[in-house]
Amino acid sequence: MPKIDLAAVPAPKGSGYPAPFDAPCADRVRQRLGNAGGLSDFGVNLMRLPPGNWSSQRHWHSHEVEFVYVLEGEVTLIEDECETVLRAGDCAAFAKGSGNGHHMINRSHAVALYLEVGSRSADDLTTCSDIDMKSANSDGRFVHKDGTPYPDA
């Protein structure tokens, strides 16, 4: 297994969400370690989440599973019916098709660092819980829940 040079892995800032849904995630930095290592069956991302930022819009997946492991700092996991603080050493798992939207917010005063691991299903549909947005892995576009594209997407 080749060692991945973290310094060589692109570290894009922000998200691909259309405005104004991109604003809460504007300063997050995600390095796609799985892609850098040539993985295709599942993804592994290293996420740096500054104070005040969201990991994503609150969402759930139809055909993908997700796992998060906190390496440094603290985030608040937001789900349909509760909030849970996750600190270094804590982890969370999300089943496919649950309908229970989730995301994390950094409400602390320090940058949080965590790993995201997820399956990669071509059939997956990501549905946002709190806003009128969804995205299919088949094309990656963000659209309204009725399928209408966003003007700037």
* CATH class of domain segment(s) 24-121: mainly beta
4-21 mean pLDDT: 96
Give the alpha-carbon dihedral of 15, 81, 126, 55, to 10 degrees.
20
What pLDDT is stored for residue 96 in this prediction?
96
109-136 mean pLDDT: 96
Return d(Cα 143, Cα 146) in angstroms, integer.
Answer: 8
- Residue 153's pLDDT band (cuts 50, 70, 90): low
Lowest mean pLDDT among 8-12, 50-54, 75-79, 136-140: 136-140
Assign 35 to helix, strand or coil.
helix
Q: What tokens were used for 20?
A: 């104004």
Q: What is the mean pLDDT of the chain?
A: 95
- Return the closest-CA partner of residue 111 out of 53, 49, 69: 49
Lowest mean pLDDT among 18-22, 87-91, 136-140: 136-140
